[in-house]
Amino acid sequence: MLPRVLRGGAWRRVALVGDSAPATVGVAIILAWVMLALLAPLIAPYPPNASDLSALAHATPSRTHWLGTDHLGRDLLSRILWGARPVLVIAPLAVLGAAAFGSLLGLVAGYRGGWIGLVITRACDIVLSFPVIILYMIILAHFGSSAWNIIAVLTLTKAPIIARIVRGMTLDLREREYVAAAKMRGESSLYIMLVEILPNARGPLFVDMCLRTGYNVIIIGVLGFLGIGLPPPDPDWGGMVKDTYGMMMVWPHMALVPCAAISSLVVGFNLLAVGLRELGLRD
Protein backbone atom coordinates (compact mmCIF):
# COMPACT_ATOMS: atom_id res chain seq x y z
CA MET A 1 0.00 0.00 0.00
CA LEU A 2 1.55 3.29 -1.00
CA PRO A 3 1.75 5.68 1.88
CA ARG A 4 -0.61 8.48 1.23
CA VAL A 5 2.40 10.72 1.41
CA LEU A 6 3.21 9.77 -2.12
CA ARG A 7 -0.17 9.91 -3.67
CA GLY A 8 -1.50 13.37 -3.10
CA GLY A 9 -0.48 16.70 -4.43
CA ALA A 10 2.69 18.33 -3.19
CA TRP A 11 1.22 20.36 -0.31
CA ARG A 12 -1.00 17.62 0.95
CA ARG A 13 2.02 15.43 0.97
CA VAL A 14 3.98 17.76 3.15
CA ALA A 15 1.10 18.41 5.50
CA LEU A 16 0.54 14.71 6.14
CA VAL A 17 3.99 14.34 7.61
CA GLY A 18 2.65 16.30 10.51
CA ASP A 19 0.33 13.43 11.31
CA SER A 20 3.09 11.34 12.69
CA ALA A 21 5.13 12.50 15.64
CA PRO A 22 8.34 10.70 14.73
CA ALA A 23 8.17 11.96 11.17
CA THR A 24 7.68 15.54 12.26
CA VAL A 25 10.58 15.43 14.67
CA GLY A 26 12.75 13.74 12.08
CA VAL A 27 12.01 16.32 9.42
CA ALA A 28 12.61 19.12 11.87
CA ILE A 29 16.05 17.80 12.75
CA ILE A 30 17.03 17.28 9.14
CA LEU A 31 15.84 20.70 8.09
CA ALA A 32 17.69 22.28 10.98
CA TRP A 33 20.94 20.71 9.89
CA VAL A 34 20.37 21.64 6.28
CA MET A 35 19.87 25.25 7.27
CA LEU A 36 22.95 25.23 9.43
CA ALA A 37 25.03 23.70 6.69
CA LEU A 38 23.79 26.15 4.08
CA LEU A 39 24.42 29.12 6.30
CA ALA A 40 27.75 27.89 7.64
CA PRO A 41 29.84 30.42 5.71
CA LEU A 42 27.74 33.18 7.21
CA ILE A 43 27.22 32.11 10.77
CA ALA A 44 30.42 30.27 11.69
CA PRO A 45 32.26 32.50 14.11
CA TYR A 46 35.75 31.44 13.02
CA PRO A 47 37.31 29.95 9.91
CA PRO A 48 37.18 26.20 10.41
CA ASN A 49 40.84 25.53 9.88
CA ALA A 50 42.20 28.46 11.80
CA SER A 51 44.31 27.00 14.53
CA ASP A 52 44.90 29.07 17.62
CA LEU A 53 47.15 27.26 20.04
CA SER A 54 46.80 29.89 22.69
CA ALA A 55 43.15 28.97 23.06
CA LEU A 56 44.16 25.57 24.33
CA ALA A 57 44.53 27.00 27.79
CA HIS A 58 40.76 27.28 27.86
CA ALA A 59 39.73 24.60 25.47
CA THR A 60 36.43 23.82 27.12
CA PRO A 61 33.24 25.61 26.05
CA SER A 62 33.35 29.30 26.94
CA ARG A 63 32.00 32.58 25.72
CA THR A 64 34.62 33.00 23.06
CA HIS A 65 34.28 29.44 21.83
CA TRP A 66 30.72 28.24 22.41
CA LEU A 67 31.55 24.59 21.95
CA GLY A 68 35.17 24.86 22.89
CA THR A 69 38.15 24.13 20.69
CA ASP A 70 39.84 21.00 19.48
CA HIS A 71 43.39 19.89 20.22
CA LEU A 72 44.80 22.31 17.70
CA GLY A 73 42.86 25.25 18.99
CA ARG A 74 40.36 25.30 16.17
CA ASP A 75 36.86 26.41 17.04
CA LEU A 76 34.61 23.38 17.34
CA LEU A 77 31.38 25.16 16.49
CA SER A 78 32.72 26.36 13.19
CA ARG A 79 34.20 22.99 12.38
CA ILE A 80 30.92 21.30 13.13
CA LEU A 81 28.99 23.70 10.92
CA TRP A 82 31.40 23.37 8.04
CA GLY A 83 31.63 19.63 8.54
CA ALA A 84 27.91 19.28 7.93
CA ARG A 85 28.30 20.31 4.31
CA PRO A 86 30.16 17.39 2.78
CA VAL A 87 28.02 14.94 4.76
CA LEU A 88 24.77 16.41 3.54
CA VAL A 89 26.00 16.25 -0.03
CA ILE A 90 27.64 12.84 -0.10
CA ALA A 91 25.01 10.87 1.79
CA PRO A 92 21.99 11.76 -0.35
CA LEU A 93 23.93 11.53 -3.60
CA ALA A 94 25.10 8.07 -2.70
CA VAL A 95 21.57 7.03 -1.85
CA LEU A 96 20.23 8.34 -5.14
CA GLY A 97 22.93 6.50 -7.00
CA ALA A 98 22.21 3.31 -5.13
CA ALA A 99 18.49 3.73 -5.73
CA ALA A 100 18.91 4.18 -9.45
CA PHE A 101 21.39 1.40 -9.89
CA GLY A 102 19.70 -0.93 -7.44
CA SER A 103 16.24 -0.38 -8.91
CA LEU A 104 17.45 -1.30 -12.33
CA LEU A 105 19.11 -4.45 -11.07
CA GLY A 106 16.08 -5.37 -9.01
CA LEU A 107 13.66 -4.81 -11.87
CA VAL A 108 15.66 -6.93 -14.26
CA ALA A 109 16.22 -9.68 -11.71
CA GLY A 110 12.55 -9.75 -10.74
CA TYR A 111 10.95 -9.36 -14.13
CA ARG A 112 13.23 -11.39 -16.35
CA GLY A 113 14.06 -13.96 -13.72
CA GLY A 114 15.81 -17.04 -14.93
CA TRP A 115 19.50 -17.12 -15.33
CA ILE A 116 20.29 -13.46 -15.07
CA GLY A 117 17.95 -13.06 -12.13
CA LEU A 118 19.76 -15.80 -10.30
CA VAL A 119 23.18 -14.27 -10.90
CA ILE A 120 22.08 -10.83 -9.79
CA THR A 121 20.36 -12.16 -6.70
CA ARG A 122 23.29 -14.24 -5.60
CA ALA A 123 25.76 -11.46 -6.23
CA CYS A 124 23.61 -9.15 -4.14
CA ASP A 125 23.39 -11.71 -1.36
CA ILE A 126 27.14 -11.97 -1.19
CA VAL A 127 27.82 -8.28 -1.26
CA LEU A 128 25.21 -7.81 1.42
CA SER A 129 26.61 -10.37 3.79
CA PHE A 130 30.16 -9.25 3.26
CA PRO A 131 31.09 -6.82 5.99
CA VAL A 132 31.25 -3.62 4.06
CA ILE A 133 33.88 -2.11 6.24
CA ILE A 134 36.32 -4.55 4.78
CA LEU A 135 35.30 -3.52 1.30
CA TYR A 136 35.77 0.11 2.12
CA MET A 137 39.10 -0.50 3.67
CA ILE A 138 40.40 -2.43 0.74
CA ILE A 139 39.02 -0.17 -1.96
CA LEU A 140 39.64 3.18 -0.35
CA ALA A 141 43.04 2.30 0.96
CA HIS A 142 43.95 1.38 -2.56
CA PHE A 143 42.34 4.10 -4.60
CA GLY A 144 42.56 6.81 -2.04
CA SER A 145 39.59 8.61 -0.61
CA SER A 146 37.97 11.56 -2.23
CA ALA A 147 34.36 12.62 -2.20
CA TRP A 148 33.63 10.89 -5.49
CA ASN A 149 35.32 7.68 -4.46
CA ILE A 150 33.30 7.58 -1.33
CA ILE A 151 30.09 8.15 -3.25
CA ALA A 152 31.03 5.40 -5.67
CA VAL A 153 31.83 2.92 -2.93
CA LEU A 154 28.68 3.72 -1.01
CA THR A 155 26.59 3.33 -4.14
CA LEU A 156 28.12 -0.02 -4.93
CA THR A 157 27.57 -1.40 -1.49
CA LYS A 158 24.07 -0.06 -0.94
CA ALA A 159 22.65 -0.90 -4.36
CA PRO A 160 22.20 -4.60 -3.51
CA ILE A 161 19.84 -3.82 -0.65
CA ILE A 162 17.67 -1.72 -2.90
CA ALA A 163 17.93 -4.33 -5.60
CA ARG A 164 16.63 -6.95 -3.23
CA ILE A 165 13.68 -4.82 -2.18
CA VAL A 166 12.79 -3.87 -5.73
CA ARG A 167 13.17 -7.46 -6.86
CA GLY A 168 10.79 -8.62 -4.18
CA MET A 169 8.22 -6.08 -5.23
CA THR A 170 8.69 -6.82 -8.89
CA LEU A 171 8.12 -10.51 -8.36
CA ASP A 172 4.81 -9.64 -6.80
CA LEU A 173 3.79 -6.88 -9.19
CA ARG A 174 4.55 -8.74 -12.38
CA GLU A 175 1.67 -11.11 -11.64
CA ARG A 176 -0.79 -8.26 -11.68
CA GLU A 177 -3.36 -8.25 -14.38
CA TYR A 178 -2.38 -4.86 -15.70
CA VAL A 179 0.99 -6.30 -16.58
CA ALA A 180 -0.73 -9.09 -18.50
CA ALA A 181 -2.87 -6.47 -20.21
CA ALA A 182 0.26 -4.56 -21.18
CA LYS A 183 1.82 -7.69 -22.61
CA MET A 184 -1.29 -8.30 -24.65
CA ARG A 185 -0.97 -4.86 -26.18
CA GLY A 186 2.54 -5.75 -27.20
CA GLU A 187 4.49 -3.51 -24.84
CA SER A 188 8.22 -4.14 -24.62
CA SER A 189 9.81 -5.51 -21.47
CA LEU A 190 11.57 -2.22 -20.85
CA TYR A 191 8.30 -0.32 -20.98
CA ILE A 192 6.66 -2.76 -18.62
CA MET A 193 9.50 -2.59 -16.14
CA LEU A 194 9.85 1.16 -16.11
CA VAL A 195 6.31 2.39 -16.69
CA GLU A 196 4.05 -0.32 -15.35
CA ILE A 197 6.01 -1.80 -12.48
CA LEU A 198 8.47 0.72 -11.14
CA PRO A 199 6.00 3.50 -10.24
CA ASN A 200 4.16 1.07 -8.00
CA ALA A 201 7.25 0.13 -6.08
CA ARG A 202 7.76 3.67 -4.89
CA GLY A 203 6.30 3.39 -1.42
CA PRO A 204 8.59 1.03 0.46
CA LEU A 205 11.46 2.27 -1.65
CA PHE A 206 11.05 5.78 -0.40
CA VAL A 207 10.99 4.71 3.23
CA ASP A 208 14.08 2.64 2.67
CA MET A 209 15.89 5.54 1.07
CA CYS A 210 15.45 7.61 4.19
CA LEU A 211 16.93 4.81 6.23
CA ARG A 212 19.82 4.44 3.81
CA THR A 213 20.65 8.12 4.05
CA GLY A 214 20.92 7.74 7.80
CA TYR A 215 23.21 4.75 7.49
CA ASN A 216 25.31 6.56 4.96
CA VAL A 217 25.85 9.38 7.40
CA ILE A 218 27.04 6.81 9.93
CA ILE A 219 29.36 5.24 7.41
CA ILE A 220 30.84 8.54 6.38
CA GLY A 221 31.50 9.15 10.04
CA VAL A 222 33.03 5.74 10.45
CA LEU A 223 35.28 6.19 7.44
CA GLY A 224 36.50 9.44 8.88
CA PHE A 225 37.04 7.80 12.22
CA LEU A 226 39.10 5.03 10.72
CA GLY A 227 41.23 7.44 8.81
CA ILE A 228 40.02 6.56 5.35
CA GLY A 229 37.50 9.34 5.00
CA LEU A 230 37.93 12.75 3.49
CA PRO A 231 41.49 13.99 3.73
CA PRO A 232 42.45 16.59 6.34
CA PRO A 233 42.52 19.41 7.21
CA ASP A 234 38.94 20.02 6.12
CA PRO A 235 36.57 19.28 8.97
CA ASP A 236 35.15 15.79 8.85
CA TRP A 237 33.04 14.81 11.81
CA GLY A 238 34.41 11.30 12.00
CA GLY A 239 37.94 12.51 11.57
CA MET A 240 37.40 14.98 14.36
CA VAL A 241 36.53 12.15 16.72
CA LYS A 242 39.52 10.16 15.60
CA ASP A 243 41.88 12.97 16.44
CA THR A 244 40.47 13.69 19.83
CA TYR A 245 39.12 10.59 21.47
CA GLY A 246 42.53 9.71 22.79
CA MET A 247 42.35 12.82 24.90
CA MET A 248 39.03 11.96 26.46
CA MET A 249 40.37 11.74 29.96
CA VAL A 250 41.37 15.39 29.82
CA TRP A 251 39.06 17.00 27.29
CA PRO A 252 36.06 14.78 26.70
CA HIS A 253 34.10 17.53 24.95
CA MET A 254 36.37 17.43 21.91
CA ALA A 255 35.13 14.00 20.98
CA LEU A 256 31.65 14.35 22.41
CA VAL A 257 30.65 17.31 20.25
CA PRO A 258 31.18 15.72 16.84
CA CYS A 259 29.67 12.46 18.13
CA ALA A 260 26.55 14.31 19.16
CA ALA A 261 26.41 16.04 15.79
CA ILE A 262 26.50 12.83 13.80
CA SER A 263 24.08 11.06 16.12
CA SER A 264 21.50 13.80 15.94
CA LEU A 265 21.52 13.91 12.16
CA VAL A 266 21.13 10.15 11.87
CA VAL A 267 18.37 10.15 14.47
CA GLY A 268 16.58 12.65 12.27
CA PHE A 269 16.66 10.40 9.23
CA ASN A 270 15.72 7.28 11.15
CA LEU A 271 12.79 8.92 12.88
CA LEU A 272 11.54 10.14 9.54
CA ALA A 273 11.74 6.62 8.19
CA VAL A 274 9.85 5.24 11.19
CA GLY A 275 7.18 7.89 10.78
CA LEU A 276 6.76 7.28 7.07
CA ARG A 277 6.39 3.59 7.62
CA GLU A 278 3.73 4.25 10.23
CA LEU A 279 1.82 6.51 7.90
CA GLY A 280 1.96 3.89 5.20
CA LEU A 281 0.63 1.21 7.50
CA ARG A 282 -2.10 3.42 8.83
CA ASP A 283 -3.55 3.84 5.39
Partner 1 sequence: MARFVAKHVVFLLLTLFVVSFLVFTLNEYSPGAVARKILGAYATQEQVDLLTKQMGLDRPLLVRYVDYVRAAASGDLGQSARFKAPVREILAKHLANTALLASVAFACIVPLSMLLGVAAGMREGSRLDRGILIASTIVASIPEFALGVFLATVFVVWLGWLPGTATLVAGGGWSAAAQLVLPVAVIVLFDAGYVVSMIRASMVEVMQRPYIRTAVLKGLSFRRVVLRHAVRNAMITPITVIMLQINYLVAGVVVVETVFAYPGFGRMMLEAALFKDIALVEAGALVAALLAVVTNLLGDLAYMLLDPRIRA
Partner 2 sequence: MTDAPLLDIHGLRVAYATRAGELTVIPGLDLSLHEGAALGLVGESGCGKSTVALAIMRYLGRAGRITAGRIGFDGRDLTTLDEYRLRTIRGRRIAMVYQDPMASLNPVMPVGRQLMEVPIAHDGCDAERARERALAMLREVRLADPEAVMRRYPHQLSGGQQQRIVIAMALIAEPALLIMDEPTTGLDVTVEAAVLELVRDLRRRHRSAVLFISHNLGTVARVCDRVGVMYRGELVEEAAVQEMFSDPRHPYTRGLLECLPTLGRDKQRAPLLPIPGQVEPAAVRGAGCGFASRCSHVELGRCTTGVIRLAPIGASGHRVACVRVDELTRSAPRPSVTASATTTARAAPMIAIHGLSKSYEPRRRFFGAGRAPVRALVDVELEAARRRTLAIVGESGCGKSTLAKILGGIEVAAAGAVTLDGVDIGTLPVDARSRALKRRLQMVFQNPDSTLNPSHTVGYAISRALRRLAGGSRAERAAGVAKLLGVVKLSPEMAARRPRQLSGGEKQRVAIARALAGDPDVVIADEPVSALDVSVQAAIINLLNEIQATRGATLLFISHDLAVVRYLADDVAVMYLGTVAEFGSVERVFAPPHHPYTEALLSAVPVPDPNAGTARIVLDGAVPGADEIPRGCPFATRCPRRVGPICDDTPPPVQRLDGGHRIACHIPAEQLLAAQRPS
Q: What residues line the site for partner 2 (CB under 8 A)? A: 2, 7, 19, 176-178, 180-181, 183-187, 196, 199-200
Does position 157 interact with partner 1 (CB under 8 A)? The reply is no
- In this structure, the number of other CB atoms found within 10 A of the CB of residue 164 comes to 20
- For partner 1, which is the closer residue by CB, 203 or 221? 221
Output the smallest distance, CB 276 to partner 2, in A.
16
Output the smallest distance, CB 7 to partner 2, in A.
8
- Alpha helices, DSSP H only, in the chain? 10-17, 21-43, 76-112, 114-129, 132-143, 147-173, 177-185, 189-191, 202-226, 237-244, 252-282
- For partner 1, which is the closer residue by CB, 151 or 257? 257
Query: Mask 126-145, x = binds partner 1 (CB under 8 A)?
Result: x-xxxxxxx--xxx-xx---
Q: With CB cut-offs between 5 and 8 Å by kind, which of partner 2, partner 1, none does residue 156 bind?
A: none
- In this structure, the number of other CB atoms found within 10 A of the CB of residue 129 comes to 9
Q: Which stretch binds partner 1 (CB under 8 A): 4-12, 119-127, 154-162, 165-173?
A: 119-127
The 3-state DSSP class for residue 75 equals strand
Buried b (16+ CB within 10 A) or exposed e, 181-195: ebeeeeeeeeebbee
Q: With CB cut-offs between 5 and 8 Å by kind, which of partner 2, partner 1, none does residue 178 bind?
A: partner 2
Are the CB atoms for 261 and 6 separated by under 8 Å?
no
- Residue 244: C-alpha distances to residues 30, 34, 259, 264 (Å): 26, 26, 11, 19
Q: With CB cut-offs between 5 and 8 Å by kind, which of partner 2, partner 1, none does residue 47 bind?
A: none
Dist CA 151 CA 149 (whole Å): 5
Q: Would you tell me which residues interact with partner 1 (CB under 8 A)?
A: 22, 122, 125-126, 128-134, 137-139, 141-142, 214, 218, 221-222, 225-228, 238, 241, 245, 248-249, 252, 255-256, 259-260, 262-263, 266-267, 269-271, 274
